[in-house]
Amino acid sequence: MADTKAKEVDTPAAADVDSDEFQIGEMSIEEALAHFNTSKDGLSSTEATARVAQYGLNALPEVEVNKCMKFLSFMWNPLSWVMEAAALVALCMDNGPTPWVTGYNPDGLSNPLPPDWYDFIGIVALLLVNSAIGYYEESQAGDAVAALMDQLSPECKCKRDGKWETIAAKELVPGDIVTIKLGDIIPADLKLLNGEDLKVDQSGLTGESLPVTKSEGAEVFSGSVVKRGEIDALVHATGVNTFFGKAANLVANTEEHGHLQEILRQIGNFCLAYICLWIVILVIVLAAAYNWYYRGIINLILVVLIGGIPIAMPTVLSVTLALGVNQLAKKDAIVTRITAIEEMAGMDILCSDKTGTLTLNQLTVDVPSTCGRFGASDIIKMAALSAKREG
């Protein structure tokens, strides 16, 4: 077993793993093992724990959403802005005279009215209800997706303290020694050590329909599927530093708005422009031409603000899309962006590479046919006896 103390002192920096100067494919097996201060006996449990703290888990980072900010985000859109403006207008309706038109009441300003608390409370309550419904439904959808992803969490065979053990793939760190065999999903970017050649299906990453042959010293990427062979391998990249992780990071960083979001934004902007136009007309006509008191004008402005917007539309859309996410989650479909449902539903033609995307690129045996005195069960038994038992 390799010296644990030496590993703890000379562990390569996380930046070295992601550096352009670091070319694992050009290194020999011995050089790669030395670079990660490991051996074919694997890391110790203590060193593995230390490297988890250094490199992080072998998983794509999950964005932690502040629940309070998420709730408030349902109040931050053009349609909600109008409702919030209406609530402020209702508060401003103070100290106005009882009549609307000059000379209507001989008391004049002697009977001021209080703010319109009924409208204010009603508008705020409607805002809170809309936000609560949207927040609840999206949270339920998010919980369903999270539960599904937990069920799909893969495991792998890893050598720790010189012994093979089954661990969660997310616990792998650079320098670990793993074994992969037929049917396994490769849990991280690996450099193959000594063993038989592999046939690896990379269709999910590259679109290649045929498996690729990989020999000792070659690299294989996270997310690929082993089609044939069995071999030990060195983990050299995990999480966002893997080939798959870098590609996923590029997709996650795109900030283009979806079609539905763009339509909602346009509707909100149109409502704002429409309401502002009518407010200007009301002020000019009623104040200048008819000499109305401001209380009467504000009353009409409040009516325009509330009547000029589809108040429940954001909530209805959020609930509808969230229900769709829940239905898809029951069918083991993961939706990471709720507005993607509308975008997919609006497609007429989907152009996609079939192999590894829409199909599994896997052949299945329908009816086995054997020759000679050996049957299918005998062949399976002999294959099991010939397989590498250590992993």
Cite the active site residues.
353
CA distance 24 to 237: 10
* Containing structural domain, residue 130: 67-150+258-345
Residues 220 and 335 in one domain: no
The pLDDT, as a whole number, for residue 15 is: 47
Residue with tokens 């996650």: 252
* Cα–Cα distance measured from residue 146 to residue 209, given in angstroms and rounded to the nearest whole number: 31
Last residue of a domain, one of 345, 360, 377: 345
In a domain, 377, yes or no: no
Cα angle 6, 12, 17; round to 5: 150
Q: Which CATH number does the domain housing residue 205 bear?
A: 2.70.150.10
Is 371 within the bounds of a domain? no
Cα dihedral: 174, 177, 180, 184 (round 10): -40
Residues 279, 338 share a domain: yes
Provide the CATH number for the domain around residue 109. 1.20.1110.10
Last residue of a domain, one of 227, 247, 267: 247
325 occurs within a structural domain: yes
Q: 235 and 191: one domain?
A: yes
* pTM for this predicted structure: 0.56
The pLDDT, as a whole number, for residue 177 is 92
- Return the exposure string of 49-72: e unless at least 16 CB atoms fall within 10 Å of the residue's CB, then b: ebbbeebbbbbeeeeeeeeeeebe
Q: Other CB atoms closer than 10 Å to residue 274's CB: what's the count? A: 13
b/e map 146-183, b = 16+ CB within 10 Å: eebeeeeeeebbbbbeeeeeebebbbbbbbbbbbbbee
State whether 114 and 181 are in the same domain. no
One domain, residues 145 and 279: yes
Q: What is the mean pLDDT of each run of 10 residues along the chain (391 residues)?
A: 41 51 76 89 90 86 77 80 80 55 47 71 84 77 64 79 89 91 88 86 75 88 87 89 78 63 81 84 75 71 77 76 79 72 79 64 73 82 74 46
Closest to 50 (Cα-Cα) out of 155, 156, 174, 159: 174
- Residue 212's Cβ-count burial label (10 Å; 0-12, 13-18, 19+) is middle
Q: Per the structure, how many domains does the chain have?
A: 2
Report the 3 state secondary structure along 253-270: CCCCCCHHHHHHHHHHHH
What are the CA-CA distances from residue 1 to residues 6, 31, 120, 210 (Å)? Answer: 12, 17, 73, 39
Q: How far apart are alpha carbons 74 and 88 in whole angstroms?
A: 18
65-to-93, 111, 321 alpha-carbon distances in Å: 38, 50, 19
Q: Is 144 within the bounds of a domain? A: yes
Residue 147 half-sphere exposure toward CB, CA atoms < 13 A = 13
